[in-house]
Structure formats: C-alpha cells, structure tokens
Amino acid sequence: GAALTPVNGFDNFSITDNNYWATDTDSDITDNNFEVDIDYAAGGQVIMTVNATVDGDNRSQSIDVTDYASGGTTAIGAGENATLNFDELGLSFTVNTNFSASVSSIAADNTGASNFGSDTTFNGVTGNDSSANVVNMAADNGQQLATSIEFQVGGGNTANDRLSINLTSVDSDTLGSGSSGSETSLEDLGANAINTAAGAQNAVEVVTRAIDDLQRARAAIGTSQNRLDFAGQNLASTQENTESARSTLMDLDVAAEMTAFTSKQILVQSGV
C-alpha cells in the first residue's frame, strides 16, 4: 500500500476486527488484502471504497467523502486529523489535511483520470503513483472469536454451574441466508439486484429473511441476558444469605458481652 502515505492524506490505518481478519482457514495469507479507491461519481460526489479479501471472501464498503474537500463542511484543517471507519470490513483510517486536498483534486476532474487508485501522477505530482493502493497482509495473528461463551455462575465444577451462550453472526454475508443457512444473503444481491421485476421480488424476499435472521439473533441475545440476570440475582441472594450466616457465627453479641463484662466488674469490685 505504498500510496497510503501522509502526502496523500493517510496517516495510518488500523484493524478493528481481528475476528474477521483471522477467518483465513489455510496457511496461505497472500490472499488476504484490501484495496483503497477514491473515485469521482456523478453529481460531483467523491466516494471512497475499500474492497477486502480474506481467503477468497470478498467484501466491499463505500463512504461518501465529498464534504472532506477543502472548504467542505468536514474539511480537515492543518494539524488536524479525522477517522474514517469501515466497520463492515474491520478497518479504520486516520486521515490528515492532505486528504482534503486529495478529495478536492479528484472532485475537480470529472473525467475520473485523477481518481486515487489509478492516477500515476496523483495530485499533479510526477511519480506520486496512487495505483499502489493494495495492502497485503504479512501475518495472520488475529484471534477468531468462539461461537459460544461460557460463564461460571455456580460454586461447583459441573455443567449446572456454568451458563453457555451461543453467538450468531449478523454481517451482510450471513443475514438473509435464513435459519437453514443455504439461501441468498444480503451480500449476494449485488449492484444489479433490482434491475428486473424478478430480481426485485427476490431482493424483497432476501431482505425479509435478513430481518427475520436479525430478530432471531436479537431474541437469542435477549434470552441469554435474562438468564444472566437471573443468575446474577441468584448469586446476590446467595451472597446475602452467606454473609448473614457468617454474621451469626462471627459477629459480636454486644448485649451478651456487656452482661458478662458487668458481671465480672461487680465480682472484681466485691473482691476489692
């Protein structure tokens, strides 16, 4: 990613979702990369698109960055920074004031020849090749999240003392596949999903399934939250009872001790 430099507006980028980038199932990580493009679009818009590939799985996310141009509502001043989050791809980019200059340069050329990712003299600087816009992963040290989480809620070492919660993925690659997991997902719809009546009808069905999938995932999380809440209340009650029992056994009985003290005091005074 030699073009992702401060002079073009990029201070750094960060991986925000290790789980996504650790889904590579083989030892070959040369197929793990992402590509950054900033293109002129109809109506003077400037769109930043990031295409990610992990083990052959392709994902794409776009953000409208038109307002980051110099003089725009979110233009970045000298010495300032902004963060662009591509949550669906598990990436974030920190950009500087040069990013506003780059957006302005792209917006000024409605032919697309000055787009970031294709211009070999980007921003009018000879040798500033923006086509080196692909970042290849050199290592795969991420940790993939487990499909279930266990909480210890009891004092023993049995299955009844642990609470297991199953997690369901709700990304665009999963939503819409239905409970069977074999249907078309949101990610499979593509840009031309509603070009025909049949395609639009199929898209409606996919979106309906996606809503159902999301509701099922939310319901499962809600059920798990209720179980955890009940377990927490039960533990609080057990703690209170234990503290009460401990108090009965260990704490000072002031009345009994004062009676004994007074009795001994009278005996001492009588002896004197």
Q: Based on the domain organization, do 13 and 127 belong to the same domain?
A: yes
Segment 111-125, tens digit of pLDDT: 889 999 999 889 888
Torsions phi, psi for 135 (to 5 deg) = -105, 120
Span between the terminal Cα atoms of the chain, in Å: 97
State the burial class of residue 142 (Cβ atoms within 10 Å of its Cβ: 0-12, 13-18, 19+).
middle
Whether residues 20 and 110 fall in one domain: yes
Residue for token pair 């004062």: 258
- The domain tally of the chain equals 2
Inside any domain, residue 267: no
If asked whether residues 11 and 129 sit together in one domain, one would say yes
Q: Is the pLDDT of residue 256 over 70?
A: yes
**Tokens 């002129």 -> residue:** 40
How high is the mean pLDDT of the chain? Answer: 87
Nearest partner of 136 among 63, 52, 25, 39, judged by Cα: 52
Q: Report pLDDT for 20.
A: 79
Half-sphere exposure of 204 (CA within 13 A, CB side): 6
115 shares its domain with 186: no
Same domain, 119 and 15: yes
Same domain for 67 and 123, yes or no, is: yes
Contact 133/37 with Cβ under 8 angstroms? yes
Of the candidates 238, 240, 185, 176, the one whose C-alpha atom is nearest the C-alpha of residue 212 is 176
Give the pLDDT band (50/70/90) at residue 264: very high
Instruction: Give the Cα separation of 130 and 123 in Å (integer).
Output: 9
Region of residue 15 (phi > 0: left; psi between -120 and 50: alpha; otherwise: beta): beta
Res 84 pLDDT > 80: yes
pLDDT of amino acid 193: 79
**So what's the pLDDT on residue 140?**
64
Clarify whether residues 12 and 60 are in a common domain.
yes
Q: Are 84 and 27 in contact (CB under 8 A)?
A: no
| 204 pLDDT above the threshold of 80 | yes
**Which residues of the chain form beta strands (DSSP E)?**
10-15, 33-41, 45-54, 57-64, 82-86, 91-95, 134-136, 148-152, 162-166
- Which tens digits make up the pLDDT trace of 180-203? 666 777 777 877 778 889 888 888
Instruction: Please indicate, yes or no, whether residues 156 and 233 belong to a single structural domain of this protein.
Output: yes
Domain that holds residue 153: 148-250
In a domain, 180, yes or no: yes
Residue 181, pLDDT score:
67
117: in domain? yes
Indicate whether 271 belongs to any domain: no
In a domain, 272, yes or no: no
Tell me if 201 is assigned to some domain. yes
Summarised one tens digit per residue, pLDDT across range 33-68 is 999 999 999 888 999 999 998 877 888 999 999 999
Residues 161 and 127 grouped into a single domain: no
Per-residue confidence band for 81, with pLDDT thresholds at 50, 70 and 90 = very high
Give domain status of residue 197, yes or no: yes
Whether residues 124 and 188 fall in one domain: no
Span 155-165, average pLDDT:
87
Q: Is residue 76 part of a domain?
A: yes
Rounded average pLDDT over 158-186? 80
Most confident of 23-27, 213-217, 261-265: 261-265
Question: Is the pTM value of this prediction over 0.75?
Answer: no
* Strand pairing report for 91-95 and 10-15: antiparallel
